[in-house]
Amino acid sequence: MRLRTAAGALLLTLTACTAGPSLENRGEVTAPPGDSKHLTVGSAGFTESDLLAQMYAQLLDQAGYKTSFITVANRELYEPALESGQIDVVPEYAATFADWLDAKTNGPDAPPVGSPDLTTTMRALRRLATPRGLTVLDPGRAVDQNAFAVTAAYARQHHLRTLSDLGASGLKVRLAAGDECVQRPYCEPGLKKVYGIDITGVDPKGVGTTQAKRAVQSGQDQMVLTTTTDATLDQFGLVLLADDRHLQNADYVVPVVNRARAGSERVTRALGRVNDVLTTADLASMNQQVDSWRRLPEDVARTYLRDKGLLK
């Protein structure tokens, strides 16, 4: 039986206690992996995180645990709560979480440790997570990376399939994206440096927003920053251009657990079942069911797990 916990009540608790393991004990993992009977599964509050967390909770329920499900949208709150054991399991993204932990450990000016190479990224992530009492389970097949889309008509007209094609075309491109795109190495600077794309300006309409997609659909902008699990592109007549030179980092979905409470082999096996089958396309489809069809994440997660034979 899964219990739903009010996010507001949790936030009061987390803001009062976010210290996590003491600094003097970090670097030493002495306690054996724990196996608590009641596990709290956390979500970061957006559709995809809700779906992943719901799948984790349902699989843990089936494995014999009692689970609570809570939403904490701020990583600055839920990561310390994960360290302290107030939250036991969260879905994360390998490269993004590695860079976040690196900045927390080594300061905001620390060079990024995430990279397009999954093995390198996972090595860095586990090196940073382990001293904090966290265990990063193996990544699955699903990845949610930044991605860039143009209209299908624009792609056909200019024979574009990849970002390299766009760079070679010499076309001038106005990009609909978040305002931070002008500084992020994986956005405007990377598109210019790695692909030679002539970005004439960034239209600050957000990442994958309806407003941004409509700007490209209308021809006001030529390309939009979105994600690989965006399932609404067809509605706007958009197609992704392949990141053929691997500008984007390896943001594969990874479960992260508190070692002392959820580090057991039984938890690893339960969560590994969905990681073995879940694909990027599966995530995109489920996101669409929630965002466009207004289905509940819990119901979409349950249907997916049953269809895959993972849930009775």
Here the tokens at position 134 are: 């966290």
For the residues 137-154, what does the mean pLDDT come to?
96
- Predicted pLDDT of residue 29: 52
Strand ranges, E, within 139-296? 146-151, 172-177, 198-204, 223-227, 238-241, 253-258
- The strands making up 253-258's β-sheet, listed across from edge to edge, are 2-4, 66-71, 38-43, 89-93, 253-258, 134-136
- Predicted pLDDT of residue 24: 39
pLDDT digits (tens, 9 = 90+) for 221-272: 999 999 999 989 999 999 999 999 999 999 999 999 999 999 999 999 999 9
Contacts of 170 (CB under 8 A, 6+ apart): 198
pLDDT digits (tens, 9 = 90+) for 156-169: 999 999 999 999 99
CA 127 from centre of chain: 19
Is the per-residue pLDDT at 30 higher than 60? no
- Predicted pLDDT of residue 74: 81
Here the tokens at position 225 are: 């920053």
Strand 223-227 relative to strand 146-151: parallel, antiparallel, unpaired? antiparallel
